C-alpha cells in the first residue's frame, strides 16, 4: 500500500528518470515520446488506481509532466550545465521554443545581432547552442570536416526518408552527392546555361518595358524571373511566369508557406516526429511539381546540358549514389534555393540603389562605359570585370545576405569537444556563425559597417566617403574572410558560381535599360522592417517606377 508520501516519491522518481533519458539520449522517435510522456504516467495512474480518485490520477500525470519540465529548466539554468559560462538570454537558455517564436515573428536575425552586442562574441542562444560573431570561428565550424549539420536539418528529410542534398550529414556521402553539382557549376557547364539566361533576361526586359512609367512591384517581377530561369536551367521546364506576369501556378505561395513552416519547426526538431506525417499542402505540392518536372524532362530526353543532365546522365552522376527520388528532391532544391535567394539579392540591390542615388549614378556610368550605346549589355564575358557592379553586389550580399542567420553545425558526440578560436565548446553543442552580425562587425568592415558603401570592395589608394571626406587605404578594413553569404567549406552553396553570373547579368541589363524611381506612396524605411528571417529571407513588396533611359 502506498501512502501519499510514497506516491509523491514515485511520481518524482519516474519523472526524474524520464528527464534523464531525454537528457542523455535526446530521443527523436514518436514511439519513445509516446512511451515516456503517455505510457509512463498512464501506467502510474493505473498502478495507483485503487488508491487514488480519477482527479488525483490526472493530478499525478500533470505533476509528472511538470516535474520533467522543472528538472529540465533547473539543469539548463544551473551552473553545472556545460554551457553555463556562456552568456545569453534566459528564455533562450531554457528552450529553443523562444528562438522558434522569434523566427515566427521574422525577427531572429535582429535579435541575435542585439544579443551579440549585449553579451559579446559568443552567445548561448539555445539550451545547447552557441552563436559566434568571430571570423576565427568560420574555419573550425564550416571548413574542417569535423562538425556535421545539427538537428536543425532534420526537416530536410521527408517522412519517406528522401533526403535532399543540404540535409546529408555524413561528409563522405555528401561528397559523393555533391559531385554532379561540381560539374554542373563548372565554367563549361555555366556557358551552357548562358543562352537560357540570355533569353529569360531579354524576356524580363521586354515585359518591364511594357510597364514603364507604371508603378510595379519589382520584388514580384524578380521572383517570377527567378523561378522561370531556374525551372529551365534545372529541368528544361518553362514555367512562363514572366510572360504571364503572374504566379499562375501558385508556386511562390507554396514555396513561401513551406519555407516559413519549416523555418519555425527546424528550431524545435523534436516536434517534427509529431507532425511530419500530417499531409501538409506546401511540401506535397512541391513534391508533385518536382515529380511532374522529372517526368516531363525524362520523356523529352536531353536536348541541352541542364542541371538534370548533370544529376542523371553525366559521368559524375553515376558516382553520386542518389536514388531517383533524391535526384528529384535535389532538382527542386535548386529551383527553390536558387530562385528565391538570387532574386532577393537583386531586389535588395534596387532598394540600395533607390536609397543611394549617387551609387546608382556611378553604376550607370560604369555600365555605359563598358557597354556604349549599340553594344549588348548581355555580353557575359565582361560582367566579371566590372569592379563597381561587383562591388555593389558584394555590398548588398554583405548587408542583407538572403540567408541572414547562422547555419547550425554540431560538435560531435564522443569527440571530447572542440576549440573554436580560443573558446572550448563541449561535445553535442550546436554551433553557428551569425552571418548578419559578422558581416556588420566593425572589426571586419570599416568604416561605416552598417551603411551601403560599395567602394570598400574596390582596390584604391584613397577613398572618398559619402560625407566627402577622403581617407587612405590603411583606414579601410574589408575582411573577405568575414564575408560568407554563400557559407564556407564543403557544404557551402552549390550554386554560387551560377548565382554570381545571374545577378551580374540581370543587374547590368536592368541598370543599362532603366532609371529606377521610388513610388511616392511607399516609404523606403519600411523595406528592411518588413524582412522576415525564415532561414532564407521573406520580403514584402517594393513598388517602383521604371523609366527607360535615353538611347537605351
DSSP 278: S
Nearer to ligand HEM, 41 or 402 (CB): 402
Cis check: omega of the bond before 447, within 30 degrees of 0? yes
How many residues does this entry show for the chain? 552
Cell numbers describing residue 321: 549514389
242 binds ligand HEM (CB under 6 A): no
Q: Is 493 annotated as a binding residue?
A: yes
CB 143 within 8 A of CB 152: no
Does 52 help bind ligand HEM (rule: CB under 6 A)?
Answer: no
- Helix-helix angle 40-47:54-77, to 10 degrees: 140
- Taking CB under 6 A as the rule, does residue 138 contact ligand HEM? no
Residue closer to ligand HEM, measured from CB, 483 or 486: 486
Q: Does 67 bind ligand HEM (CB under 6 A)?
A: no
Q: Residue 468, class by beta-carbon neighbours within 10 Å (0-12 exposed, 13-18 middle, 19+ buried)?
A: exposed
Of the candidate residues 289, 476, 493, 511, the single one contacting ligand HEM (CB under 6 A) = 493
Does the protein bind ligand HEM through residue 334 (CB under 6 A)?
yes
To the nearest whole angstrom, how small is the minimum distance from the Cβ of residue 299 to ligand HEM? 23
Residue 316 within binding range of ligand HEM, rule CB under 6 A: no
Residue among 83 and 501 whose Cβ is closer to ligand HEM: 501
Residue 258 or 338: the one with the smaller Cβ distance to ligand HEM is 338
The DSSP output letter for 412 is P
CB 392 within 8 A of CB 476: no
Q: Of the candidates 338, 377, 405, 406, which one interacts with ligand HEM according to CB under 6 A?
A: 338
Q: Which is nearer to ligand HEM, 193 or 371 (CB)?
A: 193
Residue ranges of the alpha helices (H) in 407-482?
A: 435-438
Considering the rule CB under 6 A, would residue 333 count as an interface residue with ligand HEM? yes
What is residue 149's DSSP assignment?
B
Q: Tell me, by CB under 6 A, how many residues bind ligand HEM.
A: 24
Instruction: Identify the burial level of 497 via C-beta atoms within 10 angstroms of its C-beta, where 0-12 means exposed, 13-18 middle and 19 or more buried.
Output: middle
For residues 89 and 126, which CB has a smaller minimum distance to ligand HEM in the complex?
A: 126
Spatial distance between the Cα atoms of 458 and 474, rounded to a whole number of angstroms: 13
The residue among 6, 110, 84 whose CA lies nearest residue 437 is 110
Region of 83-91, 280-288, 341-349, 459-467 interacting with ligand HEM (CB under 6 A): 341-349
Interface with ligand HEM, residue 498, by CB under 6 A: yes
Site for ligand HEM in 152-191 (CB under 6 A): 165-166, 178
Handedness of CA 418, 423, 427, 429 (dihedral sign): negative
Stretch that binds ligand HEM, among 61-69, 123-131, 347-355, 398-406 (CB under 6 A): 398-406
Q: How far apart are CA 306 and CA 547, in angstroms?
A: 35
Contact residue for ligand HEM among 147, 327, 332, 345 (CB under 6 A): 345
Q: Which of 112, 208, 254, 337 binds ligand HEM (CB under 6 A)?
A: 337
Residue 407 interacts with ligand HEM (CB under 6 A)?
yes
Instruction: Let me know: does 451 contact 466? Beta carbons within 8 Å.
Output: yes
Q: Which CB sits closer to ligand HEM, 499 or 545?
A: 499
**499-518 mask for ligand HEM (x: CB under 6 A)?**
x-------------------
When the beta carbons of 12 and 176 are compared against ligand HEM, the nearer one is: 176
**Residue from 63, 201, 268, 342 that binds ligand HEM (CB under 6 A)?**
342
3-class SS letters over 533-547: EECEEECCCCEEEEE
Task: Confirm or reject binding of residue 403 to ligand HEM (CB under 6 A).
Answer: yes
Q: With binding defined as CB under 6 A, does residue 495 bind ligand HEM?
A: yes
3-state secondary structure 484-525: CCCCCCCCCCCCHHHHHHHHHHHHHHHHHHEEEEECCCCCCH
Residue carrying the nine cell digits 520580403: 539
CB of 488 to ligand HEM, least distance (A): 9
Q: Are 267 and 535 a contacting pair, CB within 8 Å?
A: no
Q: Is 487 in the site for ligand HEM (CB under 6 A)?
A: yes
Does residue 485 belong to the site contacting ligand HEM (CB under 6 A)? Answer: yes
402 counts as binding ligand HEM under rule CB under 6 A: yes
C-beta closer to ligand HEM: residue 7 or 229: 229
Q: Residues 201, 266, 341, 396: which binds ligand HEM (CB under 6 A)?
A: 341
Query: Given the complex with ligand HEM, which of 196 and 544 has the nearer CB atom?
Result: 196
Residue with nearest beta carbon to ligand HEM? 495
Q: Determine if 482 is a binding residue for ligand HEM (CB under 6 A).
A: no
Other Cβ atoms closer than 10 A to 227: 26
Closest by alpha carbon to 229, among 343, 81, 71? 343
| 336 three-class SS | helix
For position 102 contacting ligand HEM by CB under 6 A, the verdict is: no
Q: Which is nearer to ligand HEM, 189 or 285 (CB)?
A: 189
DSSP 35-76: IIIIIHHHHHHHHTTTTS-HHHHHHHHHHHHHHHHHHHHHHH
Phi-psi region of 50 (alpha: psi -120 to 50; beta: other; left: phi over 0): alpha
Min CB(338)–ligand HEM separation in Å: 3
Site string for ligand HEM, 252-271 (x = CB under 6 A): --------------------
User: Angle of helix 324-355 relative to helix 251-266, nearest 10 degrees?
Assistant: 100
Contact of 112 with 434, CB cutoff 8 Å: yes
Cβ closer to ligand HEM: 251 or 499?
Answer: 499
Shortest Å, Cβ 432 to ligand HEM: 9
Interacting residue ranges for ligand HEM, rule: CB under 6 A: 165-166, 178, 333-334, 337-338, 341-342, 345, 401-403, 407, 485-487, 491-495, 498-499
Q: Which residues are annotated as a binding site for heme?
A: 493
Amino acid at each position: 500500500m502506498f501512502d501519499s508520501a510514497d506516491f509523491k516519491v514515485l511520481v518524482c522518481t519516474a519523472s526524474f528518470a524520464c528527464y534523464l533519458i531525454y537528457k542523455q539520449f535526446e530521443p527523436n522517435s514518436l514511439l519513445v515520446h509516446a512511451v515516456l510522456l503517455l505510457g509512463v504516467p498512464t501506467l502510474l495512474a493505473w498502478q495507483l488506481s485503487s488508491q487514488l480518485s480519477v482527479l488525483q490520477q490526472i493530478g499525478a500525470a500533470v505533476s509528472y509532466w511538470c516535474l520533467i519540465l522543472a528538472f529540465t529548466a533547473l539543469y539548463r539554468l544551473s551552473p553545472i550545465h556545460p554551457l553555463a559560462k556562456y552568456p545569453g538570454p534566459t528564455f533562450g537558455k531554457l528552450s529553443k521554443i523562444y528562438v522558434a517564436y522569434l523566427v515566427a515573428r521574422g525577427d531572429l536575425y535582429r535579435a541575435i545581432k542585439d544579443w551579440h552586442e549585449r553579451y559579446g562574441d559568443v552567445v548561448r542562444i539555445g539550451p545547447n547552442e552557441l552563436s559566434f560573431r568571430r571570423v576565427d570561428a568560420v574555419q573550425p565550424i564550416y571548413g574542417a570536416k569535423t562538425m556535421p549539420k545539427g538537428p536543425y536539418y532534420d526537416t530536410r528529410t521527408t517522412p519517406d526518408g528522401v533526403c535532399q542534398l543540404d540535409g546529408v550529414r555524413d561528409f563522405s556521402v555528401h561528397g559523393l552527392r555533391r559531385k554532379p553539382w561540381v560539374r554542373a557549376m563548372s565554367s563549361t557547364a555555366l556557358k551552357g546555361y548562358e543562352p537560357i539566361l540570355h533569353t529569360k533576361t531579354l524576356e524580363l526586359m521586354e515585359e518591364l518595358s511594357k510597364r514603364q512609367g507604371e508603378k510595379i512591384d519589382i520584388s514580384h517581377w524578380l521572383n517570377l524571373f527567378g523561378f522561370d530561369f531556374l525551372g529551365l536551367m534545372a529541368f528544361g521546364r518553362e514555367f512562363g511566369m514572366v510572360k504571364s506576369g503572374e504566379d499562375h501556378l501558385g508556386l511562390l505561395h507554396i514555396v513561401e508557406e513551406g519555407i516559413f513552416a519549416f523555418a519555425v519547426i527546424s528550431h524545435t526538431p523534436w516536434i517534427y516526429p509529431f507532425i511530419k506525417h500530417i499531409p501538409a499542402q506546401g511540401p506535397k505540392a512541391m513534391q508533385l511539381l518536382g515529380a511532374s518536372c522529372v517526368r516531363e524532362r525524362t520523356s523529352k530526353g536531353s536536348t541541352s546540358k541542364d542541371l538534370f543532365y548533370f544529376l542523371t546522365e553525366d559521368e559524375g552522376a553515376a558516382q553520386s549514389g542518389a536514388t531517383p527520388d533524391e535526384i528529384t528532391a535535389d532538382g527542386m532544391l535548386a529551383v527553390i534555393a536558387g530562385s528565391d535567394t538570387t532574386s532577393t539579392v537583386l531586389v535588395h540591390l534596387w532598394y540600395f540603389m533607390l536609397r543611394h542615388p549617387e551609387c546608382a549614378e556611378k553604376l550607370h556610368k560604369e555600365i555605359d562605359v563598358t557597354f556604349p550605346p549599340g553594344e549588348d549589355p548581355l555580353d557575359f564575358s565582361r560582367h566579371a570585370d566590372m569592379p563597381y557592379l561587383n562591388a555593389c553586389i558584394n555590398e548588398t550580399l554583405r548587408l542583407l545576405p538572403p540567408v541572414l542567420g547562422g547555419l547550425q553545425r554540431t560538435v560531435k558526440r564522443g569527440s571530447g569537444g572542440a576549440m573554436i578560436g580560443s573558446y572550448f565548446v563541449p561535445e553535442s553543442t550546436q554551433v553557428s556563425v551569425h552571418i548578419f552580425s559578422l558581416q556588420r562587425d566593425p572589426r571586419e568592415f570599416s568604416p561605416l559597417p552598417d551603411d551601403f558603401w560599395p567602394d570598400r570592395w574596390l582596390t584604391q589608394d584613397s577613398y572618398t566617403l559619402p560625407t566627402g571626406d577622403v581617407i587612405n587605404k590603411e583606414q579601410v578594413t574589408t575582411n573577405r574572410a568575414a564575408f560568407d553569404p554563400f557559407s564556407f567549406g564543403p557544404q557551402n552553396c552549390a550554386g554560387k558560381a551560377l548565382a554570381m553570373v545571374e545577378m551580374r547579368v540581370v543587374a547590368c541589363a536592368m541598370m543599362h535599360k532603366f532609371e529606377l524611381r521610388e513610388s511616392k506612396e511607399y516609404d523606403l524605411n519600411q523595406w528592411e522592417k518588413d524582412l522576415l528571417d525564415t532561414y532564407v529571407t521573406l520580403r514584402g513588396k517594393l513598388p517602383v517606377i521604371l523609366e527607360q533611359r535615353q538611347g537605351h
